[in-house]
Amino acid sequence: MMRGLFITLEGGEGCGKTTQIELLNQYFKNKKINFINTREPGGIDISEQIREVILNKDNTAMDSVTEAMLYAASRRQHMIERVIPALESGVTVLCDRFVDASLVYQGYSRGIGIDQVMKINEAAIEGYMPDLTIYLDIEPTLGLERIHSNENREINRLDLEGIGFHEKVREGYMLIAKKYPERIKTVDASGCIEDVHKKIVEVIEDSLKNYENKVQE
């Protein structure tokens, strides 16, 4: 059986991932693609419980390595319970964040080191990496403005970081996007929702064609 396509969306706070994933859900349904939609940290019960600890805005004393390990623990359970079974059964997986977020947030922005954080995650992911990662790029100031203007969005611990931290997050994403250009595709997320969705769909359709061609070879 052909393995399912693994697609992840990444980006800084306020880049619009949640909205774009909702639109992609409808896109996949219209295309009659067998898929699941999930998120990190979270996606299944145990991982959601770990998410609550990580993002609790009262946990300001959390050590950066502890944070990285909690993300990896949440990711491991998510992979074993949901992501790997879906991919191996031929189902496309659409995931809001994956290991790239840890490389950027903890590895680059927290200063642990990208390679070190990847080592922490090796056992968690068992070699499974996305076939396509869409990075939604936005100026940190604009992203944070979006967050604070949305009354329905709960403010988490990462949202409370200073602008310098969020600027480093953007730097980190741009760095790994240059390092893995075959996998990570950058989309300007500063425009209107419809325009950003259109660009994302173009990237995904190109990826689907390439994936089908590889399978046929």
Q: Find the CATH number of the domain harbouring 144.
A: 3.40.50.300
How would residue 214 be classed by pLDDT, with cut points 50, 70 and 90? Answer: low
Vertex 30, ends 191 and 75: CA angle to 5°?
70
Share of residues in the chain with pLDDT > 90 (%): 85
Residue 1 lies in a domain: no
What's the number of CA atoms in the CB half-sphere (13 Å) around residue 176? 27
State mean pLDDT over 144-152. Answer: 81
Q: Is the pLDDT of residue 24 over 60?
A: yes
- Angstrom distances, CA of residue 176 to CA of 17, 102, 144, 148, 198: 18, 12, 22, 28, 24
For residue 53, pLDDT over 60 is answered with: yes
Half-sphere exposure of 74 (CA within 13 A, CB side): 27
Q: Which of 190, 28, 178 is nearest to 104 (CA)?
A: 178
In a domain, 28, yes or no: yes
Q: How confident is the model at residue 150 (pLDDT cuts 50, 70, 90)?
A: confident
Position 215 scores a pLDDT of 58
Q: What's the whole-number average pLDDT of the chain?
A: 93
Arithmetic mean of pLDDT, 172-199:
97
H-run or E-run covering 49? helix 45-55
Position with higher pLDDT, 74 vs 210: 74
What is the DSSP code (8-state) at residue 196?
H
Exposure on the CB side of residue 45, measured as CA atoms within 13 A: 0
CA–CA distances in Å: residue 71 to residues 4, 65, 193:
24, 10, 29
| Residue 57 within a domain | yes
Model confidence at 61: pLDDT above 90: yes
d(CA 49, CA 62): 16
**What pLDDT was estimated at residue 208?**
82
Expressed as residue numbers, the domain containing 55 is 6-216
Is residue 85 included in any domain, yes or no?
A: yes
31: pLDDT strictly greater than 80: yes
The total number of structural domains that make up the chain? 1
- 24 part of a folded domain: yes
Mean pLDDT over residues 180-192, rounded?
Answer: 97
Question: Residues 14-41: what's their mean pLDDT?
Answer: 96
Residue 98, domain member (yes or no) = yes
Report the pLDDT value the prediction gives residue 159, as an integer from 0 to 100.
Answer: 73
Q: How confident is the model at residue 175 (pLDDT cuts 50, 70, 90)?
A: very high
What integer pLDDT is reported at residue 212 of this predicted model?
Answer: 67
| pTM (two decimals) | 0.93
Is residue 134, in this structure, part of any structural domain at all? yes
Q: Alpha-carbon distance 124 to 72, whole Å?
A: 6
Query: What is d(CA 212, CA 139) in angstroms, rounded to the nearest whole number?
Result: 35
Range 67-86 average pLDDT? 98
Give the residue among 2, 35, 3 at the shortest CA–CA distance from 204: 35
Q: Residue 78: inside a domain, yes or no?
A: yes
